[in-house]
């Protein structure tokens, strides 16, 4: 079969991983294949509950606007259904008390919004929609232990039932296309090596950041505010992060973050004590007055990792990577779910493009391009953090000038609506980073004064 993923009648596609990236890839592939099989190592819950295969599932997740638009494109009416499930809608900057780089943000009229409901709720809704398609089937409780085929072409995957010993002979599932959506811990490098192919080069950038989260119920004793949440944004001079956002039903998720060697603890009292590191006590006061509902859960795997399948190498046709298996970000920036959805939109466009043959390399490049905006934000911010390691942490010739310019944009975004709106569009993945270099933005960054911003946490919109 020629290296053509879209027009020669793919009979069977296999997707490794049943999380958001894998499910949404399956949704798109069902438009082209006779049959799509999603292989998931977990046994998936029948309700919107957390599962082991999403280790950060108990932590803060937000669905930013780029992801909202992509999900509605892939699954029409999805956002209406998510709202019906009670996922809170948080307007930016109106609904958040936000501190960054020494400034409190003015709570200007909203130009962006995100949804902050629990991650299992959103994933469950996606799963219901995707698996309702009779062309998509799910194999649960199975590990992919390898690929079949050669360095020239992948012809399927080898599966072993979870819990079966290493001596248990794996079975083969033949496929015309295999998509790796198994997450940041993917074993694709080993799978490719076993069939004589080359693994992609990995770009890494790791600040050693760790975070810890706990669900609380607000009480009458928490600080009185008309905001929905709080956000202390970490930076090179103030490396501690703190977020409080609503989950629904009067519950809030609280997430603290810190760098290597000063990670937030998971013990009850120590978690609350950690909040005193922030530059203002407003979050510490909120946590002290709220009622804890869950234990504290920690998470440590936050390195930015990009696997460069787009670069030359001996790699097989019929094998793609998407989601965190392709490009994993520091989760603290809240881009993962949106990027998974944007990648699926990119996959759809690449396969449906009538101007070009959708070869493996061309489609893989489209998937990587879909993650570029999130990578530029996440890796760009993390590169400035103290102690950052990895080959992507190395300074580039323009870093100093670009960093100076973006710092001027950021300090004006805190109080100038003409700068803040484009700035938030980039952060929510609805506009490219290059839009911050438009003539109007350059004029604002170079010539406009820094606007006045609140001297204290703006607990009221009119403060």
265 and 341, same domain (yes or no): no
309 and 365, same domain (yes or no): yes
State the total domains in the chain. Answer: 2
Within a domain: 94: no
> Side-chain half-sphere of 62: how many Cα atoms within 13 Å?
28
257 and 274, same domain (yes or no): yes
Query: How far, in Å, are 173, 192, 406, 457 from residue 199 at the CA level?
Result: 22, 6, 35, 49
Which pair of tokens denotes residue 85?
Answer: 């499930």
Within a domain: 191: yes
Per-residue pLDDT of 174-230, as tens digits, reads 999 999 999 999 999 999 999 999 999 999 999 999 999 999 999 999 999 999 999
Give the domain-ending residue among 310, 344, 378: 378
Within a domain: 81: no
132 and 191, same domain (yes or no): yes
Per-residue pLDDT of 36-63, as tens digits, reads 999 999 998 888 888 877 767 788 999 9
Determine the Cα–Cα distance for residues 432 and 376; give it in Å rounded to an integer.
10
What CATH number is attached to the domain comprising 214?
3.30.70.2450
Per-residue pLDDT of 321-375, as tens digits, reads 999 999 999 988 999 999 999 999 999 999 999 888 889 999 999 999 999 999 9
Confidence band (pLDDT; 50, 70, 90) for 8?
A: low
Per-residue pLDDT of 417-434, as tens digits, reads 999 999 999 999 999 999
179 and 293, same domain (yes or no): no
139 and 46, same domain (yes or no): yes
Contacts of 380 (CB under 8 A, 6+ apart): none
Within a domain: 394: no
Quick one: which of 35, 230, 221, 8 has its CA closest to 139?
Answer: 35
Which pair of tokens denotes residue 284?
Answer: 């510490």
227 and 195, same domain (yes or no): no
Within a domain: 281: yes
Within a domain: 451: no
Within a domain: 255: yes
Determine the Cα–Cα distance for residues 381 and 35; give it in Å rounded to an integer.
41
What is the domain extent for residue 343? Answer: 12-61+122-204+302-378
278 and 322, same domain (yes or no): no
| pLDDT the model gives residue 2 | 44
CA pseudo-torsion sign 462, 414, 453, 264: positive
Which pair of tokens denotes residue 52?
Answer: 């082991």
Question: What residues does 214 pair with on adjacent strands?
Answer: 254
Confidence band (pLDDT; 50, 70, 90) for 109?
A: very high
214 and 286, same domain (yes or no): yes
Tell me the three-class secondary structure of the chain, residue by residue: CCCCCCCCCCCEEEEECCCHHHHHHHHHHCCCCCEEEEEECCCCCCCCCCCCCCCCCCCCCCECHHHHHHHHHHCCCHHHHHHHCCCCEEEECCCEEEEECCEECCCCCCCEEEECCCHHHHHHHHHHHHHCCCCEEEEECEEEEEEEECCCEEEEEEEEECCCCCCCCCEEEECCEEEECCCCCCCHHHHHHHCCCCCCEEEEEECCCEEEEEEEECCCCCCCCCCCEEEEECCCCCCCEEEEEEEECCEEEEEEEECCCCCCCCCHHHHHHHHHHCCCCHHHHHHHHCEECCCCEEECCCCEEEEECCCCCCCCECEEECHHHCEECCHHHCCHHHHHHHHHHHHHHHHHCCCCCCCHHHHHHHHHHHCHHHHHHHHHHHHCCCCCECHHHCCCCCHHHHHHHHHHHHHHHCCCHHHHHHHHHHHCCCCCHHHHHCHHHHHHHHHCCCCCCCCCCCCCCCC
Q: Quick check: 265 pLDDT over 70?
A: yes
152 and 216, same domain (yes or no): no
Are 20 and 341 within 8 A, CB to CB?
A: yes
Q: What is the pTM of this model?
A: 0.95
What CATH number is attached to the domain comprising 33?
3.50.50.60
| pLDDT the model gives residue 1 | 34
Determine the Cα–Cα distance for residues 393 and 396; give it in Å rounded to an integer.
9
| pLDDT the model gives residue 356 | 85
Contacts of 448 (CB under 8 A, 6+ apart): 412, 416, 419
Within a domain: 26: yes
Confidence band (pLDDT; 50, 70, 90) for 126?
A: very high
224 and 279, same domain (yes or no): yes
235 and 371, same domain (yes or no): no
Per-residue pLDDT of 266-321, as tens digits, reads 998 999 999 999 999 999 999 999 999 999 999 998 999 999 999 999 999 999 99
Determine the Cα–Cα distance for residues 197 and 178; give it in Å rounded to an integer.
15
Give the domain-ending residue among 336, 352, 378: 378
Per-residue pLDDT of 381-415, as tens digits, reads 999 999 999 999 998 888 999 999 999 999 999 99
Are 202 and 436 within 8 A, CB to CB?
A: no
Give the domain-ending residue among 243, 267, 299: 299
């Amino acid at each position: 079969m020629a290296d053509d993923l879209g027009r020669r009648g793919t009979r069977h596609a296999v997707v490794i991983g049943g999380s958001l990236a894998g499910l949404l890839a399956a949704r798109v592939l069902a438009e082209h294949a006779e049959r799509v099989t999603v292989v998931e190592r977990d046994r998936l819950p029948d309700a919107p509950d957390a599962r082991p295969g999403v280790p950060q599932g108990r932590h803060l997740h937000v669905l930013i606007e780029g992801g909202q638009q992509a999900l509605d494109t892939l699954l029409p009416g999805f956002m209406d259904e998510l709202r019906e499930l009670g996922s809170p809608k948080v307007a930016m900057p109106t609904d958040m008390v936000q501190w960054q780089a020494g400034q409190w943000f003015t709570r200007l009229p909203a130009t962006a919004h995100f949804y902050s409901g629990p991650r299992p709720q959103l994933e469950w809704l996606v799963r219901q929609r995707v698996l309702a398609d009779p062309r998509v089937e799910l194999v649960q409780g199975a590990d992919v232990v390898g690929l079949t085929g050669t360095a020239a072409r992948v012809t399927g995957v080898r599966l072993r039932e979870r819990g079966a010993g290493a001596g248990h002979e794996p079975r083969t599932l033949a496929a015309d296309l295999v998509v790796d959506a198994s997450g940041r811990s993917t074993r694709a490098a080993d799978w490719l090596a076993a069939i004589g192919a080359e693994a992609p080069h990995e770009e890494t950038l790791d600040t050693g950041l760790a975070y810890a989260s706990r669900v609380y119920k607000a009480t009458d004793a928490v600080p009185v505010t008309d905001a929905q949440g709080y956000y202390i944004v970490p930076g090179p001079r103030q490396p501690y992060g703190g977020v409080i956002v609503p989950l629904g039903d009067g519950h809030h998720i609280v997430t603290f973050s810190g760098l290597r060697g000063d990670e937030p603890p998971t013990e009850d009292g120590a978690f609350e004590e950690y909040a005193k590191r922030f530059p203002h006590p407003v979050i510490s006061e909120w946590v002290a007055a709220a009622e804890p509902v869950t234990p504290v859960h920690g998470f440590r795997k936050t390195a930015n990792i990009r696997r460069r399948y787009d670069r030359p190498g001996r790699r097989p046709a019929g094998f793609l990577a998407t989601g965190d298996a392709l490009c994993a970000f520091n989760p603290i920036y809240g881009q993962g779910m949106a990027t998974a959805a944007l990648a699926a939109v990119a996959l759809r466009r690449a396969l449906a493009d009538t101007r070009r043959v959708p070869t493996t390399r061309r489609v893989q490049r489209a998937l990587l391009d879909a993650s570029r905006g999130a990578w530029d934000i996440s890796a760009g911010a993390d590169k400035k953090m103290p102690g950052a390691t990895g080959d992507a942490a190395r300074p580039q010739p323009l870093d100093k000038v670009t960093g100076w310019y973006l710092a001027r944009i950021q300090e004006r975004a805190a109080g100038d609506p003409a700068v803040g709106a484009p700035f938030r569009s980039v952060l929510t993945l609805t506009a490219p980073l290059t839009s911050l270099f438009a003539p109007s933005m350059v004029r604002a960054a170079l010539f406009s004064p820094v606007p006045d911003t609140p001297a204290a946490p703006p607990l009221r919109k009119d403060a």
